[in-house]
Amino acid sequence: MPSYNKNIPVFLSEAEIKAKVKEIAAQITKEFGDEEITLIGTLKGSFVFLADLSRELTMPTRIEFLGVSSYGDQTHSSGEVKVTLDLTAPLNDKNVVLVEDIVDTGLTLSFVLEYLNARKPKKIKTASLLFKKVALKAKNLTIDYVGFEIPNRFVVGYGLDYAEHYRGLPYIGTLD
């Protein structure tokens, strides 16, 4: 049986993540009540968080994905972002929750927020499961719903990869 996943030390357990996803869902519900929202996940890393979050929400939801990739090497983003997959529907007059796996320098989130705001949504809120506050470079960036503030370490699992590996790990582990 392949066992490469088993050697990754646990940083945030499945139970901790599950409880946090419920908390974030409650905050989103407090904000939007029964109004329809569009969840926009940035690919690829946010697909697991978005899937779990969407199942904790009870208002009508639309699901969109935005493919973004930052130029750079495996573990550092350069801040130059390109869109690799676009949305399938207009956002004007929609309530949007942008769903991010991790905010590191914040440069990706800044770019994506500007990109989405240009589509004139009614309201836009941002959720990120992980936030490396010490690494933040982008100015005036608000993350409305933060799961965990984490130190500046490289994490994998629960959607996050290292060279496309470990996305399916059910918990978040550290690689460094």
Q: Is 104 a catalytic residue?
A: yes
Would you count residue 106 as binding ligand XMP (CB under 6 A)? yes
Would you count residue 17 as binding ligand XMP (CB under 6 A)? no
Binder among 20, 155, 158, 169 for ligand XMP (CB under 6 A): 155
CB of 50 to ligand XMP, least distance (A): 13
Would you count residue 161 as binding ligand XMP (CB under 6 A)? yes
Which of the residues 104, 144, 161, 176 is marked catalytic? 104
Buried b (16+ CB within 10 A) or exposed e, 108-128: bbbbbbebbeeeebeebbbbb
Binding to ligand XMP, residues 111-130 (CB under 6 A): none
Spatial contact of 38 and 62, defined as CB atoms under 8 Å apart: yes
Rounded to an integer, what distance in angstroms lies between the CA atom of residue 171 and that of residue 176?
16
Q: Which two tokens stand for residue 28?
A: 């989103």
CB of 45 to Mg ion, least distance (A): 6
Comparing C-alpha atoms, which of 93, 106, 137 is closest to residue 42?
A: 106
Binder among 50, 65, 91, 104 for ligand XMP (CB under 6 A): 104
